A and B are shown apart, each in its own frame.
Chain A
Amino acid sequence: MRAAWSFLRRLLSSPIAAFGAIVLVGFVVMALFAPQLAPFEPGAPNLRARLSPPAWAFGPEQYFLGTDHLGRDILSRLIYGSRIALLVGVAGVTLQALLGITLGTLAGYFGGRLDIAISRLIDTLISIPNTILYLTVLGVFGPSLVGLVLVIGFIGWTTFARVVRAETLSVRNREFVEAARALGQRTPMVLLRHVLPAIMAPIIVVATLNVATVIILEAALSFLGFGVQPPTVTWGRMLADGRNYVATAWWLATFPGLTITLLCLSLIFLGDRLRDVLDPRLRGR
């Protein structure tokens, strides 16, 4: 417990990381309490207030960030949109991590043909520009929340696998792993008890940074019409609407993009700091 506290204190001793943590907590609170926080129903149209500018830019005072082409409150939609972004980000990265860590440790620990097979699979997946692959698969199976998470997990695990494979390679012949083997521990135990804890630091860093990547990816897929479908609010879909009204209503596209950027910034700040604290070798990279 004390170790956890001291770790957290070291992590947040950097003002930038502390800022990131506060923003991230803010977004989580926003997602959890969206119904209490949002001033309006996110899907409720108000046709008399279509495309109203933000309140502080001479718009109607009840709409702080203005309304969209159907008169829906942008602030409320942003608040609700955080739910899908965080859900897909966390669930997608969790699945990526499960697959990537499993395949990466297997490839790194056993080497040989298994390693070659897994490495070629990674080569294959990273050779196809990812959006094209994601869109094709989503196009075939039809877009849905579960489908989106599965696709992100099953295609995007390669970063985890590559990092984990390299780290496993570097620890598999270290004394503590050999000692465990010599003591007669079975391979799954050696992997779970000894190898995995030793390579946890880079995994945590990759996970944090990947959440940002996946959030941007989710927004891009929604922007292209292949994300979670309406009436569920997604930031990417809001941006697609904003693109259509860019010449007449600047606020439609501006705020969802700023929101995504802010959330991803907070994750990158935290990820970079985690790297500094957990893995001093990589400091400054």
Chain B
Amino acid sequence: MTAYILRRLLQMIPVVIGITLIVFVLVRISGDPVVLMLPEDAEQWQVEALREALGLDRPIPTQYVMYLRDLLRGDFGTSLRYTNQAALPIVLERLPATLQLTLAALVVAVVISFPLGIIAAVYRNRWPDVFSTSFAVLGQAMPNFWLGIMLILVFAVFLGWLPVSGRAGVASYVLPAITLGTALAALLTRLMRSSLLEVLNQDYVRTATAKGLQRRSVLLKHAVRNALLAYVTVLGLQVATLMAGAVVTEQVFAWPGIGLLAIQAINSRDMPIIQGVVVVAALIVMTANLAVDVLYALIDPRISYT
């Protein structure tokens, strides 16, 4: 197991290098940092001096290595918008809001999809199945940010039960979490239904029923447990999708997370902040995927990672 985790960590290295390369190239394309940092009437020698001080006169590969070294030290540069503040702490300060939103959405997705998927498979082709399948298709077809606006319209504007936007108190989590979690709930409902249907036809489930076990026990102990594999895998792979959706959801609800920060940074071309958001978000996604692989091994004793 330890060897497996180590190998997975080694596999992550090229991916991290790839991500930093993408960010490095984008930062370089976005404009000359020296021009942004100096006043417009700066003398030529001042420009040259700053360029030399920042290492921008060296060959590009050298610059990339210097850049990687800075990133490893946690130095993402100083934000242009928040004058002279280091970029990474600004990103990390906003991170909990996004993580909480993502987690809440994950909970919404699981709470909806788990029972709905099971019910759909058990009552195949009857009305509970039709209902949950319709939900699954609709959840996939709806843009999540539109769902968010509609939820605001109904629950905040018409009914006045929940706040329109912002992050203050438990009530403020409800609408953003539903907004972000519904598409995933739809996907997982479909998945739970199909993998459970597959499992229900297997011999060991028939054997368990033939043994005279209660239906509920067959379903939960034998069938659902085996259907969980695909469910957990997809759940983990969808963390990237959730974080991507969080960007839009945060905009709808003025949620003060890294998504909103990223949009503001992109609008003001604040590259240090942008690279902070990209690298931090990617690291979270990779960690989640690794965690799922480990979890996978724990759930399924058939898989050995040697």
Contact = CB atoms under 8 A, between A and B. Distances in A.
Interface of A: 120-121, 123-124, 126-133, 135-137, 139-141, 212, 216, 219-220, 223-226, 239, 242-243, 246-247, 250, 253-254, 256-257, 260-262, 264-265, 268-269, 284-285
A20 to B, nearest CB: 11
Nearest to A253: B149
A136 B266 contact: yes
Contacts of B164: 246-247
Interface in B270-284: 274, 277-278, 281-282
Nearest to A272: B137
B222 interface: no
Contacts of B241: 129-130
A253 B150 CA distance: 8
A137 B25 CA distance: 10
B145 interface: yes
B143 A216 contact: yes
Interface residues of B, number: 51
B248 interface: yes
Consensus secondary structure, chain A interface: helix
Contacts of A260: 142-143, 146
Contacts of A130: 240-241, 244
Nearest to B243: A129
B279 to A, nearest CB: 9
B14 interface: yes
Consensus secondary structure, chain B interface: helix
B32 to A, nearest CB: 13
Contacts of A226: 266
Given A137-B26, A250-B153, A128 B281 contact: yes
Contacts of A141: 29
B149 A257 contact: yes
Contact of B197 (A124, A136, A139, A284): A284
Interface in B29-44: 29-30
A264 B138 CA distance: 9
Interface in B250-306: 251-252, 259, 262-263, 266-267, 269, 274, 277-278, 281-282, 285-286, 289
